[in-house]
A = this chain, B = another copy of it.
Amino acid sequence: MPTTAVLLIDCPDRKGLVAAIANFLVDNYDANVLNADQHQDAALGLFFMRVEFETELPCDDAQFRALFAPLATSMNLNWKITFPARPQKVAIFVSHYLHCLADLLHRHQTGELPCELALIVSNHESARPLAEFYGVPFHFTPVTPATRQAVEVQHLELLAANNIDLIVLARYMQILSPRFVEAHPLRIINVHHSFLPAFTGAKPYHAAFARGVKLIGATSHYVTEELDEGPIIEQDVTRVAQSDQLPDLIQKGRDLERLVLSRGVRWHLAHRILSYANKTVIFS
């Protein structure tokens, strides 16, 4: 059975990159390229590439690393190889708004999000029925100011014990500590219910209604130590009708949140996102 792998590269742009990489894959793996996409950041002089290839020859992480290292070093490549055959393990954190969770669970069931949903963590009990219906282990970890630190330790242990690859904050209303964030670089995806960088912080729909914007938005992004400042993965907007009151914005916004969060998770799982300079490249 052939092996499928995804190679992600970012590096200073220079002549001969594509030829060198293409030759490497042909010479070492007689590779069949399933998808390839490349981009540049002209201002920073950077080159980005994603190649998804198939090979009948032996190919695993250690072996690829050994073979590819000399070329990567000589061309100054940042790179990552992944093997989609190993399903990633995902934890979803959620509070009392369940629309994103319900959406992710249904998409997972229909095969749209190929991963193992290993955990649902919540500071409320309200998500338990959905978790049980879809057969995902549910962990109720209520948070108070006094227990915040202990709960976080518990979360870190849960994540480690389950070898979690990706944490999805599906409207999780607790702020993560720097320690937690640093432990999962580019491995936490959040949905913020505004068109970032507009309306950072709490109650963005209220702020949008007060400002009188004519479109509202939602954003999925990687979580970094700066709140709402991480690399943006996806954004979408919808028009505010003149008759819309605040509850209407909140309702319309829920649809945007579902869309941008599920797209972000799907692209992450497909290794289609590369981050640099606090931005993202989304490969097709």
Where the two chains meet, the residues of A that have a C-beta atom closer than 8 Å to any C-beta of B are: 15-19, 22-23, 25-26, 30-33, 35-43, 98-99, 102-103, 106, 110, 112, 129, 133, 195-199, 209, 211-215, 217, 231-237, 239, 241-243, 245-246, 251, 255, 259, 277-284
Complexed CA–CA distance, A211 and B230 (Å): 9
- Shortest Cβ distance from residue A264 to the other chain B in the assembled complex, whole angstroms: 10
Is B33 a contact partner of A36 (Cβ separation < 8 A)? no
A19 with B15: in contact, given A102-B106, A199-B197, A284-B242 (CB under 8 Å)? no
Instruction: Select one of B99, B212, B279 contacting A232, CB under 8 A.
Output: B212
How long is the Cα–Cα vector from A40 to B37 in the complex, in angstroms?
Answer: 11
CA A251 to CA B259, docked complex, whole Å: 12
Query: Which residues from chain B contact A199 at a C-beta distance below 8 Å?
Result: 197
Chain B residues closer than 8 Å to A211, beta-carbon distance: 196-197, 232, 278-279
B-side contacts of A15, CB under 8 Å: 26, 30-33
Are B278 and A243 closer than 8 Å at their CB atoms?
no
Q: How many copies does the complex hold?
A: 4
Q: Give CA–CA (A41, B281) in the complex, Å.
A: 23
Name the one of B32, B38, B234 contacting A214, with C-beta atoms under 8 angstroms. B234
Determine whether the beta carbon of B212 is less than 8 Å from that of A278: yes
Instruction: With CB as the reference atom, state the residue of chain B lying closest to A206.
Output: B43
Set B26, B42, B106: member contacting A19, Cβ < 8 A? B26
Bound Cα distance from A176 to B284, whole angstroms: 38
Residues of B contacting A278 in the complex (Cβ-Cβ under 8 angstroms)? 211-212
CB-CB under 8 A from A245, the residues of chain B are: 40-43
Interchain nearest-CB distance for A156 vs B (Å): 29
Q: Which residues of B contact A239 (CB under 8 A)?
A: 239
Return 20 A-B CB contacts under 8 Å, by A number.
A15-B32, A19-B19, A19-B22, A19-B25, A22-B23, A37-B37, A37-B243, A42-B246, A99-B106, A103-B103, A103-B106, A133-B133, A195-B198, A197-B213, A212-B277, A213-B235, A214-B235, A215-B217, A215-B236, A242-B283
